[in-house]
Each structure stands twice: as C-alpha cells, then as structure tokens.
Amino acid sequence: MEKRISTQRIYEGKIMALRVDTVVTSSGRLTTREILERPRVVSVLPLDDQGNVILVRQFRYAVGRETLEIPAGVVAEGETPLAAARRELREETGFDAASFRELVSYRPAIGFSTEHMTIFLAKSLIYAPEKGDEENIRVERIPFGQLYDMVVRGDSPLDDAKSIVAILLARARGEA
C-alpha cells in the first residue's frame, strides 16, 4: 500500500486531468506517481441481424490517422453506463438496439490512469439517429466472423484495445 503525501495538479482539460502525487511506499521510500484522471467511458459492439459489426471510421489526432473501431464515448455526469452506451451508439452510428448486454467492465491502463470502461454488446439494431458531437464519422460494416478471424490472425483493421477485447469476448461467450 502507498500513502499519498501531496498532489500537484499539472493540467485540467475537458476530458482528462494530469496530477503528480508524492507517495510513501510500503517500504518507506518517497517517490512520485503520475496519474491521468479520466471519466468513466463506454463502448459498444453493435451486431446487426445479418451478423455484421457496425464500426466507425474517424480521424484520431493522437495517432495521426483514421482508425476503425467500435463506437465509444464518455459517460456524462448523472448518466448510467447503459444510457451512455445507447446515446453513443445513436450519435455515432444512427442505431439504437433492443438488446444491450454488458460484456466486461475494466480499467484499460491501470498503471497510470483512473479510466474505467464498460463494453456492451448491442443486438436487434433499430435505425434511430441522434445528433451528437460534430465528429466526422463514417459507418462501416464487416461480418463478425471475418473480423474475428482477422483479429486472431493479427491482421485486423482494428488496433485499439476496446474493439479487440469486444470481438474476442463476444466470440468466447458465444454471443456472436
């Protein structure tokens, strides 16, 4: 166990904050911990009735290119993860779903971030667009089996953890 002695706030933005904590380790050593504070987030693996995964293609500045991934976003203040998942799915793909099932809730970067993500599987999709952020997103469909095979072979167009985890868990649990 480590005990925090002090905190220095380095940066505070809309979607993250960075702090440096001075801590005493269990062995009595004084050290620092850099912590990225993030809100709770959700992502959704949407499967249509034909067995296709609905994916979003968008430019991600941090990696300097377009990515293909499952819809995701921040849980707003006072919103449940399920409500956020439904909203993000509608905003990013134009679909709602009659069925949502939680696949996993986990911390993607436990060594330095407070982020907590919940991944949902959405089935029985219904076209129900909702205006969202001014994101430039294009929707693409790839058959689940084809996408799963590409992930397992290591030649998938997906290279983000949330999308890969969702595909692997859906297959492992017999959901797709």
User: Do residue 49 and residue 28 come from a single domain?
Assistant: no
How many independent structural domains does the chain possess? Answer: 2
Residue 159's closest CA among 94, 69, 77, 66? Answer: 69
Which residue among the candidates 12, 66, 102, 135 is catalytic per the annotation?
135
Q: What is the pLDDT of residues 119-170, one digit of tens each?
A: 999 999 999 887 766 668 999 999 999 999 999 999 999 989 999 999 999 9
User: Do residue 122 and residue 139 come from a single domain?
Assistant: yes
Residues 168, 171, 172, CA angle at the centre, nearest 5°?
80
Stated as kind and residue range, the H or E segment containing 85 is: helix 81-93
Q: What is the pLDDT of residues 74-126, one digit of tens each?
A: 999 999 999 999 999 999 999 999 999 999 999 999 999 999 999 999 999 99
Residue 34's closest CA among 102, 94, 114? Answer: 114
User: Do residue 22 and residue 98 come from a single domain?
Assistant: no
The domain containing residue 27 runs over which residues?
A: 3-37
* Known catalytic residue at 135: yes
